[in-house]
Amino acid sequence: MIEIRNLSVKNFMSVGNATQGIAFDRRDLTLVLGENLDLGGDGSRNGTGKTTIINALSYALYGQALSNIRKDNLVNKTNAKNMLVSLDFAVGGTEYRIERGRKPNVLRFFVNNEHKASEDEAQGDSRETQDAIERILNMSHDMFQHVVALNTYTPPFLSLKANEQRTIIEQLLGITLLSERADRIKELNKQTKEGISQEEFRIRAVQEANQRIETQIESLRKRQRLWITKRDEDCAAFAQAIADLEHIDIDAEVQAHRDLDQFHSHRKQIEEHQRWIRQIDSEQVKLEREQNKLKTEIQALDDHRCYACGQDLHDNKQDEIRVKKQQALQEAALQYLANDTQRVEHMNEIDDLGELGTAPTVFYDTMEQALNHRNTLSGLQRDLAARQLEQDPYADQITDMQNQALQIVTYDDLNEMTRLQEHQEFLLKLLTSKDSFIRKKIIDQNLSYLNQRLTHYLDRIGLPHTVKFQNDLTVSIEELGRELDFDNLSRGERNRLILSMSWAFRDVWESLYQPINILFIDEMIDNGLDSQGVENSLALLKKMSRDRAKSIWLVSHRDELAGRVENILRVVKEGGF
C-alpha cells in the first residue's frame, strides 16, 4: 500500500518562508476552503493556495506541478529563493522521504532514514533518483492526475486524442507493463545477441589458435619422425658396425695386415724390376736402330760415298769418318751387351722373388686401425648406448602443447545463449503481438472490471448514460440507444462522467497494483453539478473514505459544503503569503 503521510512546503508558489505542513495520514473526508484576506476576506476564495497543496505533492513526487508551470515559476515570487518541498510516505512497510527544491536545486531521497545519494545530486535533478521513485510508486505522472489528483487543469480522459487515451488505458490495464517488460526483454535479448557474437568470436579465436598450434604440433611431429628415423638408423649402423667388429679375429687381422705389407713390398720390388726391364728393352730397341744405322753409314763409306748426301768422298776424309763411325758402333754394341746383362740380372731377381700370389684380405684399411680395434669396438658400444638413451627432444613439447596450449572448444555456453535468445524472442512475441493471448486475457479480464466499476459509479452519481470501454480500448457513450460524443454532454453530465471514470480508473489501478491512501478532488464538483449531483458525489466520497479508509481532500469554493463535512482545512492568504 502507498501511504502518503506528511507534506511540508517552503517558498513554494503562494507559501512563503514560513514552512507550512499538512498531515495526510487520515481516514476521513476533508473539505479545503480558501480565504484571501488580501482581497477582503469574506467571500474571497480564489488565489489562496488550495491547489498549491496538490501541486506541491505532485512536485515532490515527480518534479513537476499538475499543470505545465515552469519549475522556476514554482518558486515564491516575493522571496525568489530557497524553495523546498518535503514529503514522507511509505510503500509496503518501507519508509521514504523526498526533499526537492529550487534555487538552489535540491533532490534528496531517503529510504528508511538512509540517504540514497546519486552522482548528479548536486544539480538537484537526478534522473536516476527520479526513476527509482517512480518504480517504487509504479505510477506515472499522467496516471497520478487521473486517479489521485482529480483537477480541472488536466484535460479529461475523453477529451484526449485517441492515441493519448490508449496510452492512459494501457497503463491502467497493465498493458504498458507488458511493453515495459518487452523493452526489458529487448535489452536482454540485445545483450544475449552480443553475448552470442562474443562467444562465437571467442570460439573462432580458439579454433584459429588451436589450428595454429596443431600446425606447430604437426611440424614438431615431422621433426620428431625425422629425429627418430635418424636415431634408429644411427643405432642400426652402430649395431651393425659392432656386429661386424665382434666377428673379426683381430690377431689374424693384424697378421693379415703384416702379410699385406709384405705383399705390397714384394709387388713393389717386382714392379720395380719390371720397370727396369721395360726401360732396358726400350733402350735396347734404340741401340739396335742406332747400330743398324751406323752399319749402313759405314757401308756407304766403304763405297766412298757420304752417308748424308751421297757424294763421293776422298780417301783421307773417308778414313776419318769411318773410324768415328766404327768407334760409335763399337760403343753401341758394348752398351747393348751391358744392357742385356742388366736385363738378365733383373729377370733373375724376379725369379728369386718368386710368385707374387694373392693379396691377403683385411677388414681395416690400415694397421693402425686394426691395432685400435678394441678401442673402436668399445667406442661404438658406448656410442650405441648413448644414442639409445637419447631422449626425444620433441615429445615433451608436443605433450605440453596438446595438454596446455590447445584449448577445449565447447559449445555449451553458445547453445545455452541461443536457447535463451529463442526463448526471449518467443516472450517478445507474446508481449508485443496484438493477437497475443496474454494481451487479450489482460484486456478481457481488466476491461470487464473497469466497465463494471464505471457502471456502478455512473448509477450512484446519477448519470443515465451507458458508457462502456470496447475491446479495441475505445469508449462508447449511449443514451437510450443513441450514440453520443463526449462533447454532446452538458457540463454537469461531463463532470459526472469525469468523476465516475476517474474513480473507476482508481479501483482498477488499486486492484492491479496496490491501494493508495489519498485522493484529491480539486473544484470538480463546483461547476456544472446541480444539488443532486453534489449530494451524490459527497455520498460517494464519504462512503469511499469510510469503507476504504481513504484520506480524501475536497477542494471547493462552496461554503455551504462546510455543513456537510466534518473536517475543514482553511487556507488563508494574508500579506501575500
282-313 pLDDT tens trace: 998 998 898 898 888 888 777 766 656 666 65
Which residue would you say has higher pLDDT here, 409 or 21? 21
pLDDT score of 44: 60
Task: Give the three-class secondary structure for 248.
Answer: coil
247-257, pLDDT tens digit by residue?
888 888 788 88
Phi-psi region of 213 (alpha: psi -120 to 50; beta: other; left: phi over 0): alpha
pLDDT of residue 404: 85
Residue 407's pLDDT band, with cuts at 50, 70 and 90, is confident
Mean pLDDT of 567-576: 90
Residue 521 is predicted with a pLDDT of: 92
Between 382 and 441, the more confident residue is 382
Say what percent of the chain tops pLDDT 70: 95
Q: Is 242 helix (H, G, I), strand (E, B) or coil?
A: helix
Cβ–Cβ < 8 Å for 364, 256: no
**Under a CB-based contact definition with an 8 Å cutoff, are residues 107 and 124 in contact?**
yes
Alpha carbon distance 314, 295 (integer Å): 20
Question: pLDDT band at 314, cuts 50/70/90?
Answer: low
Q: pLDDT at position 122, please?
A: 45
Least confidently predicted of 171-175, 190-194, 271-275, 495-499: 171-175
> Which residues make Cβ contacts (< 8 Å) with residue 404, sequence separation at least 6?
none
| Statement: residue 20 has pLDDT above 90 | yes
pLDDT, position 125: 55
Burial of 279 (0-12, 13-18, 19+ CB in 10 A): middle
pLDDT at position 119 over 60: no
Residue-level pLDDT at 99: 95
> 537 to each of 154, 501, 503, 540, 549, how far by Cα in Å?
19, 13, 11, 5, 17
pLDDT value of residue 123: 42
Q: How far apart are CA 220 and CA 215, in angstroms?
A: 9
**What pLDDT is attached to residue 349?**
87
pLDDT tier, 416 (very low <50, low <70, confident <90, very high otherwise): very high
How do 149-150 and 518-522 pair as beta strands? parallel
Report the Cα–Cα distance between both ends of the chain, in Å, rounded.
35
Which pLDDT does position 358 carry in this prediction?
A: 87
Mean pLDDT of 117-126: 54
Average pLDDT over residues 515-526: 90
**Residue 173 scores a pLDDT above 90:** no
3-class secondary structure per residue, 321-364: HHHHHHHHHHHHHHHHHHHHHHHHHHHHHHHHHCCCCCCCCCCC
CB 61 within 8 Å of CB 100: no
Quickly state the pLDDT bin for 82 (edges 50, 70, 90): very high
| pLDDT beyond 50 at 195 | yes
Q: Compute the average pLDDT of residues 102-129.
A: 77
pLDDT of residue 88: 96
User: And the C-alpha cell for 476?
Assistant: 462508447
Cα maximum dimension of the chain: 204
Q: What is the pTM of this model?
A: 0.61
d(C-alpha 542, C-alpha 530), whole Å: 18
Q: Rounded to 10 degrees, what is the CA torsion of 488, 492, 495, 496?
A: -100
For the cut 50, the answer to whether the pLDDT of residue 544 exceeds it is yes
Residue-averaged pLDDT of the chain: 87
Cα–Cα distance measured from residue 367 to residue 369, given in angstroms and rounded to the nearest whole number: 5
Give Cβ neighbours of residue 198 (< 8 Å, ≥ 6 apart): none
3-state secondary structure of 155: coil
Neighbouring residues of 170: CB distance < 8 A, sequence distance ≥ 6:
176, 179, 473
Distances in whole angstroms, Cα of residue 554 to Cα of each of 53, 54, 73, 567: 12, 11, 25, 10
At position 176, the amino acid (one-letter code) is T
Whole-number Cα distances in Å, 119 to 96, 112, 116, 122, 212:
19, 20, 10, 8, 48
What's the rounded mean pLDDT across residues 104-109?
92
Give the per-residue pLDDT at 497: 93
d(CA 166, CA 176): 10
For the chain, helix, strand, coil in percent to 5 are: 60, 15, 25
C-alpha 521/C-alpha 51 separation (Å) is 10
Pairing verdict, β 475-479 and 83-91: unpaired
Which residues partner with 555 through β-bridges? 32, 522
Measured between alpha carbons, how far is residue 240 from residues 11, 214, 384 in Å?
113, 38, 10
Per-residue model confidence as pLDDT tens digits over 323-342: 888 888 898 889 889 988 99
Cα 462 to Cα 481: distance, rounded to the nearest angstrom = 18
